[in-house]
């Protein structure tokens, strides 16, 4: 329902700049259009040499500017990058889990304690070690507790992504968000991450992202959707 997002406070945990666009940019756009608040925590950016032969190094400054453009396009209420040092980028699994949990719970600018989200979107664990590390930290940060102790997140979900066909267990979505009106915004947000775009038929191409959104939409009888795995819903 469109009305669901009115008054909701959505916190998105994205391991890297562009993961917010791949996973839930349509949902972010819909939540904002419906009157919700949206905050984004990006795990890390840094200098990166792509695997492709001859590709130039993409700098952390470029990635930072790309995420800024994506966040501005989506109109989020606030965002931050936890680590900007290159020696942390793609190495979040080397950060003590306790430290990542504390950042998401308390210490980050948009931590759960400060934002008090009603909905949190986590990265689904995959072959990428940073995605696994932030999922585990976010899942722990949302562990059950008495509501008088600290903010309780009623809706805990993890995002679909184009690479999730290659993991130990299939991604099994059980929550869908109709983004038929916001698919173009999703693709525009992903296009902000210009250094990461690849030509079709690459898995992460714009064309493939649209194909996945159309497929998820067909699964619920609409033009386009984003899908999620549900870990907790409190009504």
Give me the pLDDT at residue 2, please. 64
Number of domains in the chain: 1
On the 0-12 / 13-18 / 19+ scale of CB atoms within 10 A, 81 is: buried
Query: How much is the pTM?
Result: 0.96
- pLDDT digit string, tens, across residues 165-188: 999 999 999 999 999 999 999 999
Q: Which alpha helices (DSSP H) does 34-128 contain, by range? A: 60-74, 97-102, 112-115
Report whether pLDDT(202) > 60: yes
**CATH number of the domain that residue 167 is part of:** 3.40.50.10320
Q: Which domain holds residue 71?
A: 2-233
On the 0-12 / 13-18 / 19+ scale of CB atoms within 10 A, 170 is: exposed
Give me the pLDDT at residue 86, please. 87
């Amino acid at each position: 329902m469109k009305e669901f997002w009115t008054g909701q406070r959505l916190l998105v945990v994205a391991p890297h700049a562009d993961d917010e666009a791949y996973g839930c940019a349509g949902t972010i756009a819909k939540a904002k259009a419906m009157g919700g608040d949206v905050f984004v925590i990006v795990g890390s950016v840094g200098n990166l040499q792509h695997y492709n032969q001859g590709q130039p190094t993409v700098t952390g400054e470029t990635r930072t500017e790309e995420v800024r453009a994506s966040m501005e396009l989506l109109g989020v209420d606030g965002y931050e990058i936890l680590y900007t040092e290159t020696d942390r980028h793609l190495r979040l699994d080397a950060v003590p889990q306790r430290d990542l949990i504390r950042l998401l719970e308390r210490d980050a600018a948009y931590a759960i304690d400060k934002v008090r989200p009603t909905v949190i979107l986590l990265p689904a664990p995959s072959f990428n070690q940073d995605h696994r590390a932030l999922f585990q930290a976010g899942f722990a940060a949302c562990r059950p507790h008495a509501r008088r102790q600290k903010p309780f997140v009623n809706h805990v979900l993890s995002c679909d992504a184009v690479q999730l066909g290659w993991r130990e267990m299939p991604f099994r979505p059980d929550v869908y968000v109709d983004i038929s009106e916001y698919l173009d915004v999703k693709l525009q947000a992903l296009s902000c991450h210009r250094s990461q775009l690849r030509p079709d038929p690459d898995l992460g191409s714009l064309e493939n992202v649209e194909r996945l959104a159309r497929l998820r939409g067909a699964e619920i009888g609409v033009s386009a959707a984003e899908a999620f795995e549900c870990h907790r819903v409190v009504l």
